[in-house]
Amino acid sequence: MIKTLLAHIAMLIGLCGPASVFADTEATRFGWVEFIEIQPWGIKTKAKLDSGALTSAMHAVDLAEFQRDDDNIGR
């Protein structure tokens, strides 16, 4: 019973292991500035790509704040 169970586990590991070894042969290239779309609003804009960044950030200038339905909103 245990030999059969171990054989099944070894077979599953053998079948699942090789699938993760293969790498994508076609590399995707990105430039320093790319066009992005901010979801769910569908806003399209240019963004700078930093492949070494651990976090992400957005920078905005000429902000205007107003109130709508008792909420502070910026544009």
Residue showing tokens 């079948």: 15
Q: Residue 2 above 80 pLDDT?
A: no
User: Strand, helix or coil at 28?
Assistant: coil
pLDDT tens digits, one per residue of 7-46: 767 666 665 555 555 666 777 777 778 888 888 888 888 8
pLDDT (mean) for 52-65: 81
Distance, in Å, from the CA atom of 23 to the CA atom of 25, rounded to the nearest integer, reads: 6
pLDDT of 22 reads 61
Partners of residue 45 on adjacent β-strands: 36
